[in-house]
Structure 1
């Protein structure tokens, strides 16, 4: 979570990102929350729906019809500043935080880690799959994986883990550079590829990397929560 947050929010404190919301100009409308849920891709709608099931009278509930209408587009129609204010206010509610965490886990983290483990990958590979899912969606991550498989085999299929991950990251760079908003590949080359070249397939601290000109480090494994 800290590694992804360094690229998504320029901070290791991913728990401080529940209230984050802005349009980053990537054609996906608003980007918000702990992994960048988007109004144009449907996952933001899922977060608000989950929250509303627990808190029916919340301030975001009235925007559900607008979120349905802008799904698949970059439009702010029916959202705008009132929606932004409501999102930031809701971020203080633990129920809303749990809704974000649930969508992150069920829609991104668990599918990515499950696939990485089935491919025989350790912690670095699981991180690489998860980060790709966050940026490109799980289907996009799977597309990157399919292209990598044309040049290297997964460890589960008898391939070398380092060779396969190198191929996966090569294809990830190709995918990133398809969009102007994601053409900076620091999160791949200066973090994931750096760990790979260091031979740190298990992501064993200390970890040191940089993204977008900022340096980060994790000196010890965080305590489980």
Structure 2
């Protein structure tokens, strides 16, 4: 269940699924009001409101890691309730019942995705793929490979250091530049394992608790050096700030 520790609401995938879940619950709620449901249907609706709000707060504050087992149990119970409720809504005659069933379907799909995201291990394809996206903010979500190119282009234009597509690290032409760069090197400890993308030879793979020298902390992808001297770029959200 290690995936909880590094997912937050600023991740565009987590944010999108959470918004869709909120929309699904709202449709379920409005449909229930129009159809004048009562009894266990409203219990299920209120229960799912609790689950959606809990996930929103937990991912927003990045505290879901403290309640991993509880969240997974609540999501599982919610899926069971919704699976029970959907056939009832589809067979009901009141106006709004079918709309409510549509909201329930959206919600149950989102909860399945939450389980896959939050329940994935750090080495899993789901976890690695999700974190290849820039999570700098909820409004503009750019794939990490595009973000890295933008960072490299901007850095080349402002610092004057020679940077190429195949070598994102700065090339120092004088001993003074090299000395200044060495003085700015800091170390960071990896919070999770990371497998470099085979599509980008500039990325570095590393393991949890591995210590890397950070040569440049600009942007969401840092320029780093491993203990064996290998240099490349690493995702900043995998390291202690």
Instruction: Please report the TM-score for the alignment, with normalisation by the length of structure 2.
Output: 0.32
Instruction: Please report the TM-score for the alignment, with normalisation by the length of structure 1.
Output: 0.34
Q: Say which one has the larger Rg.
A: 2
Greater relative contact order (CA < 8 Å, ≥ 6 in sequence): 2
